[in-house]
Amino acid sequence: MRQPQAVWQRPAVAVDRIPDSQTGKMHCNRGTLRLLTLIIVCLSAGLGRADAPSRMGREAGKVENFLLLDHEGKSRELYRQTSARAVVLIFTTSGCPIIEKSTSTIKALRDQFASRGVVFWLVDSNTDDDAKTVREEARNFAIDLPVLLDHTQSVARSVGATRTAEAFCIEPKSWKLFYRGAIDDRLGYGTEKQHASHAYLENALNNFLAGKKIKPARTEVKGCLIHFETPVQTEQK
Amino acid sequence: MKKIFAGVGIFLVLGVVTVALLQHFKPEALGKFSKLIGGPAAPEMKVEDFYLLDHQGRAQTLYRQSGSKAVVLISTANGCATVKEAAPKIKALRDKFAAQGVVFWMIDSNPQDDRANIAKETAQLGLDLPVLEDRAQLVATALGIGQTCDVICVNPTNWMTFYRGAIDRQLSDQKTKVRGPNNYLENALTKFLAKKTVSPNRTLAKGTPIHLALAKDSTSKPISYTAEVAPVLQKSCVPCHSPGNIGPFAMSSYEKVKSRSDTIREVLLSQRMPPWHADPHYGTFVNERGLTPEQAQTLERWVEQGSPRGDGEDPLAAHPPPPAEDWPLGKPDFIVKFPKPQEIAASGVFDYRYIPIRSPIPTNAWLRAAVVKPGNRKVVHHILVLVATPQELSSGRLRQGQAGGINGYFSAYVPGYDAVPFPEGSGKLLPAGTMLIFQVHYTADGKAETDQSEMGLYLSKEKPATELHTRSAFNVRFEIPPGEPNQETEAEYRFTKDAVLYDMSPHMHLRGSWFSFEAVYPDGKKEMLLSVPHYDFKWQHLYRLAQPKRLPAGTRLICRGAHDNSPLNADNPDPSKTVHFGDQTFNEMFIGYFNYTDAPTSGSVAKTGGGG
C-alpha cells in the first residue's frame, strides 16, 4: 500500500527513540542472573527500536530547527522560541474543510494558552499555496495566527507530518515532542459533531504545563493528505 | 565453570548487540535475517480505508470494522478452481472465528463478474459471507492482490496487516518456504487473538491470476492529463469544485489538482467523492454523478504515475466553467426572498430555522417550475419549502406532522439538486394567499456567514395536463435503542390511480444508514427502484429516473431502511440516547419522498391543492 515517503523515512533530525539509561547499564561481571537481565534489557530495547517508527512515532524525538516566512512575511525560527513554554505546530492547507472547521477551536486554544507561554503556529506545506492564497484564506477565515509557508515541505518531512490538522507540540528546552496528533475528535471525513468527546491537544497542553504525564501522547489525526512533491516510490513490484 | 558462563555470556551479548544495531541502522537487513531463521519478518503494511458494495448490495467499509477483533480479506473470482477447493476451509474458519469477533470478507476484483453471477456462485459453494465487488479494482491495486485465494489479515486497532498469504500449506505456492504449522491462516488468527507472535506471517498463496487493469506492466503508457484526466474532472468534479460553488477548493488548474492528487486517490478508495449514493445495480438516473470503474481507474492510475502534466493545454485553466448562473431557467415571474439576511456562526451545529413568507402571486397560479436559490452555498445545507394556509400557520401546526413536510414539500434545495422545471406536461398549483414556509438547515463552514436565499416562481402559460404531486411514504412510530447499529423501519404508500413516478428521495437524519424504494405491483411482482446502501445526511439527492416509471393503480411503494445509533456511525450525535421521530437533526425521520403525476391515459382530473 502506498504511503507518503515521510511516514517511513528516518527523519533528518536525530531522533532518540529509547532512553539512554537502559543501554547504559552494561556491567556484566556478577554471574548469570545479571547477564540474563542484561540480555532481556537489550532485547526489549531492540524490539522497542523496531516498533517505534511505525507505531507511536517520535514523541521522544527532537525537532530540527527551521526558519520559515509566515504569510505576512515575518520570519519565524523555531529555535528562537526559547522563552516559550511550548510551541505548537498545526499543519494546514487552503481549501481543506477539516482545518477550516477547526479554525475556531485553534483560535480558542491559542487564546487559552498564549498567556501561559504557548506559541501557536500554523504550517502550510502545500506547494500550491503561495503567500497570496494563504493571506486570502487567513482573511476569509479570520485566522490571526502566523501561517508559516513551508514551500519546500522540509518541515513537514522533518517532523513526519502527512495530514493537515495534525498538531506537533514541542518543548523548547530539549526541542522534543511531547504530543503529536489530533486537536480533538469533533471532526471526521465529512462528519461533524456539536462537541468533541476528547480534547486531546488541550489535555496535552494542560498536563504538560502542570508537569504531569501526557496521555495519550500520540493520536491518529483526520485531515487532508499533504501531497509531497517528490514522486512517491511504491514498495510493491 | 565460570569461564564457560562468561564465554556463553559474551557470545550472547555480541549476538544481541548485533541484532540491536542491525535493527537500528538497517531494519530491512534484519527483516531478511529474521525471514531466514523463521522469525517475525515484517511484511506489515497499513491498509487504507475502502468502501465497496457486497453481492447483496450492502455497503461495507473497512474502517467501520474497528469493533471487530480482526478482519480477514480473501480474494476471489467466479469459476476459480482454487476458490472451490478453498471454500469449505474458508467456511469452517469463518464458523470457528466469527464467534470470536473476526470478520471474513471475500473480495472479487474480476471485472467479468457481476452481482448475479457472484450470488449464484457463492450459493453453489455454500459460502454465506459477503463478497465485495471491487469493480474498479482500486482495492486490489491498493492491496497488491494479483490472484485469487490471497489472504490478508488486518488488525483493526491500527489497520496493519498481521498475516498475508495462503489459507494453508495445501493452498500455498511451492515457493513458500516456512516451517511451523500447516494451517497458516488458522494459526495466524489463533496466535493473533491470543496476542502472541504470528509466525509464519508471510506465505505465498496459490491462486488464479486476476488481471489488473492498473497493474504496473499495463501502466507503461502515461495517462494523459489533458485528454483523459481533465475531462473526467470537468464532468464529475468541477461543477462543485469551482469558485462560488459548494466544493471547498476549486479545481481550476493542473497545479491545484496535482497538489491534491493523494486526496483524490483516497476519496475514490473510500468513495467519499463524487457524492452519489445509489447502488448502480438498480435503475438509471439522469443526475448520476458516480464515476464509472474506467473513470476511477484513469484517475487512480494517473495519481500512481505521480500525476504527470504531460503535453497539451490545461483544460481546467483554459476552460473554466461559466460562473454559476443566478437563475439557470431564466428570470422568474415572481421571486420570494428571505426578508432579512440570516446570520450563521463560524462553528457549531444548528437547529432548523423556519421562515414563513406569503406567496407573492395574487391569484391561484399554476407553476411550471419553482426553483430555490441558496444565497450562500457554503452554509445552506438544505431548504425545504412547505406550504400552509395562514390559518394553519397561526394554529401552530407548522413544525411537525402535516405541515412539517412529512407528506411532501412544495420545492426544495439540497446539495446536488439541479434547478430543473417540473416534468413535461405537469405543474404545481399555488393557491393565492398560501404561506410558503422555508425550513432551512445551515451548517458552519469555519467562518461567520450570512445567507439570504430566494425562490423563483415560474408561471405556466396554460393549465398543465397533470398536476405534479410530491408525496411520501413515512413512518413516525419507530424507536431506535441506544447503540443499535441497524434498527430497521418500513413505510408504505399505495397508489390508488395509475401513476407516473419521476423521482425518489430518501430522507433521514444523522443516524440514517440505508434506504430503499421497492415497487410491489398489483400482480405481486416486485421491483427495486432505488437502493441507497450508505445513506449520507449531507447529500440528500433527488434520484431522478432516466425513464419515468408507470405504476398501475394498486401499486405499493415500500420504503425500507435503517438507522444506525451505534458509536461506529461517525455522524451520530449521541449513541447513548433512545431516538424517536422529530424534525431536529438529533431526532430522526424516516421519509421516502417521491414526485408523481396521475398517468395521462387514466383520464382522471388532477386534484387541486399544494404539494405539501
The confidence score (pLDDT) of residue B219 equals: 52
Q: Which listed CATH number (2.40.30.10, 3.40.30.10, 3.40.47.10, 3.20.20.80) goes with A67-209?
A: 3.40.30.10
Question: By the 8 A CB rule, do A180 and A168 touch?
Answer: yes
Instruction: With beta carbons under 8 A apart, name residues in chain B contacting A45.
Output: 20
Phi, psi angles (nearest 5°) of residue B272: -80, -25
Phi, psi angles (nearest 5°) of residue A119: -100, 130
| Residue of B16, B143, B255 lying closest to A128 (CB–CB) | B255
Question: By the 8 A CB rule, do B115 and B281 touch?
Answer: yes
The confidence score (pLDDT) of residue B23 equals: 45
Read off the pLDDT band of A232 (50, 70, 90).
Answer: very low
Q: Could you tell me which residues are beta bridge partners of residue A90?
A: A122, A167
Half-sphere exposure of B411 (CA within 13 A, CB side): 27
Helices and strands of chain A, counted as H and E runs: 7, 7
Q: A227 and B258 in contact by Cβ < 8 A?
A: yes
Instruction: Report residue A85 as a C-alpha cell.
Output: 513554554
Alpha-carbon distance B304 to nearest alpha carbon in chain A (angstroms): 8
Alpha-carbon distance B160 to nearest alpha carbon in chain A (angstroms): 10
State yes or no: pLDDT of A36 exceeds 50. no
Instruction: Report residue B174 as a C-alpha cell.
Output: 511451492
The confidence score (pLDDT) of residue B325 equals: 78
The confidence score (pLDDT) of residue B36 equals: 37
pLDDT tens digits along A166-176: 999 999 999 99
Q: A190 and B5 in contact by Cβ < 8 A?
A: no
Optimal mutation site among B18, B23, B30, interface A, most CBs of chain A within 10 A: B23
* Regions of chain B with pLDDT less than 70: 1-43, 214-220, 395-405, 407, 415-417, 601-612
Query: What is the rounded average pLDDT of the residues A92-117?
Result: 95
What is d(CA A131, CA B335) in angstroms, rounded to the nearest whole number?
Answer: 41
From residue B32, give the alpha-carbon distance in Å to each of B22, B36, B557. 11, 6, 62
Angle between helices B293-304 and B261-269 (to 10 degrees): 140
Helices and strands of chain B, counted as H and E runs: 12, 26
Q: B306 and A232 in contact by Cβ < 8 A?
A: yes
The confidence score (pLDDT) of residue A131 equals: 93
Instruction: With beta carbons under 8 A apart, name residues in chain A contacting B256.
Output: 128
Write the DSSP string, A75-123.
EEEGGGGGG-SEEEEEEE-TT-HHHHHHHHHHHHHHHHHGGGTEEEEEE
ipTM over 0.90? The verdict is no
Nearest chain A Cα to B6, which residue? A31
Q: A227 and B259 in contact by Cβ < 8 A?
A: yes
The confidence score (pLDDT) of residue B285 equals: 95
Nearest chain A Cα to B3, which residue? A31
The confidence score (pLDDT) of residue B28 equals: 39
Of A32, A62, A66, A33, nearest in space to A152 by CA: A66
Domain boundaries, chain A: 67-209
Instruction: With beta carbons under 8 A apart, name residues in chain A contacting B47.
Output: 1
Alpha-carbon distance B419 to nearest alpha carbon in chain A (angstroms): 25
Q: B571 and A100 in contact by Cβ < 8 A?
A: no
Instruction: With beta carbons under 8 A apart, name residues in chain A contacting B259.
Output: 93, 126-129, 227
Q: B9 and A35 in contact by Cβ < 8 A?
A: yes
Instruction: With beta carbons under 8 A apart, name residues in chain B contacting A43.
Output: 16, 19
Nearest chain B Cα to A41, which residue? B16
> In 10 A of CB B22, how many CB atoms?
19
Instruction: With beta carbons under 8 A apart, name residues in chain A contacting B5.
Output: 31-32, 35
- Terminal C-alpha separation, chain A: 11
Instruction: Report residue A53 as a C-alpha cell.
Output: 517508527
Question: By the 8 A CB rule, do B609 and B509 touch?
Answer: no
Which residue type occupies A112? Q
The confidence score (pLDDT) of residue B53 equals: 97
Question: By the 8 A CB rule, do B284 and B528 touch?
Answer: no
pLDDT tens digits along B86-105: 999 999 999 999 999 999 99
**Rounded (10°) CA dihedral A133, A137, A142, A144:** -50
Of B59, B157, B46, B146, nearest in space to B105 by CA: B59
Q: A49 and B12 in contact by Cβ < 8 A?
A: no
Angle between helices B27-36 and B2-25 (to 10 degrees): 120
Angle between helices B184-193 and B81-98 (to 10 degrees): 20
The confidence score (pLDDT) of residue B551 equals: 97
Q: B16 and A43 in contact by Cβ < 8 A?
A: yes
Alpha-carbon distance B521 to nearest alpha carbon in chain A (angstroms): 38
